[in-house]
Structure 1
Amino acid sequence: MTFWNQWRVVVDEADRAQWVWEPLKSVGPLRFGMAHDDATQAVAGYLEPSPRSTNHYGDVVSHEFALTHAPGGPALTAYYDAGRLTCVAVNARRGPQVTLDGLRLVGRVPSELEAAFIEYTTTHGHELRYGPHADPGTETLGVVLRAQRAGDVVLSRPVFVAHDWADRCVHVPESRIPDSEWTDRHY
Structure 2
Amino acid sequence: MSLWEVLADAEREQWTFTPSVGVGPLRFGMSHDEAAAAMDGFAVVVDGTFRERDDTRKAEFRSVPDRPSAQPAVTAYYGRVEGLYCVVVDARCGPQVTLDGLRLVGRVPSEWEADFLAYALPRGIAPRYAPEGDLAPEELGLLIRVQRAGDVVLTRPVFGIVRERAYTLWDGLPYDEFEVH
TM-score category of the 2 structures, normalised to the smaller one: 0.7 to 0.9
The offset of 1:88, in angstroms, is 0.4
Q: Does 1:120 align with 2:119?
A: yes
The offset of 1:51, in angstroms, is 6.6
- 1:80-104 per-position Cα deviation (integer Å, ceiling 9, x unaligned): 0116100001000010000000000
Match of 2:43 among 32, 48, 67: 48
**Residue pair 1:24, 1:162 contacting (<8 A) in 2 also:** yes
Secondary structure (helix, strand or coil) at the match of 1:181 reads helix
Q: Scaled by the length of structure 2, what TM-score is found?
A: 0.88
Q: Does 1:75 align with 2:70?
A: no
The offset of 1:15, in angstroms, is 0.9
Q: Scaled by the length of structure 1, what TM-score is found?
A: 0.85
> More deviation in 57-66 or 139-148?
57-66
1:52–1:140 distance in 2 versus 1, CA, 3 Å: closer
The offset of 1:53, in angstroms, is 8.6
Provide the rounded CA distance (Å) in 1 between the counterparts of 2:47 and 2:28: 23
1:185–1:70 distance in 2 versus 1, CA, 3 Å: farther
After the TM superposition, which residues 11-160 of structure 1 pair with which residues of structure 2 at under 5 Å, given as runs?
A: 11-45=7-41, 47-50=42-45, 56=51, 57-68=53-64, 71=67, 72-82=70-80, 84-160=83-159
Which residue of structure 2 lines up, in the alignment, with residue 185 of structure 1? 180
- Partner letter of residue 92 of structure 1? A
> More deviation in 5-14 or 160-169?
160-169
1:148–1:29 distance in 2 versus 1, CA, 3 Å: same
After the TM superposition, which residues 157-176 of structure 1 pair with which residues of structure 2 at under 5 Å, given as runs?
A: 157-162=156-161, 164=163, 167-170=167-170, 175-176=171-172
Task: Indicate the RMSD between aligned Cα atoms, in angstroms.
Answer: 2.2
Secondary structure (helix, strand or coil) at the match of 1:58 reads coil
The offset of 1:55, in angstroms, is 7.3
**Residue pair 1:54, 1:64 contacting (<8 A) in 2 also:** no
Identity %: 47
The offset of 1:143, in angstroms, is 0.5
**Residue pair 2:89, 2:105 contacting (<8 A) in 1 also:** yes
In structure 2, runs of 5+ residues without a counterpart are: none
- Partner letter of residue 154 of structure 2? L
In structure 1, runs of 5+ residues without a counterpart are: none
Secondary structure (helix, strand or coil) at the match of 1:74 reads coil
**Residue pair 1:24, 1:163 contacting (<8 A) in 2 also:** no
Provide the rounded CA distance (Å) in 1 between the counterparts of 2:32 and 2:117: 33
Query: Greater strand share, 1 or 2?
Result: 1
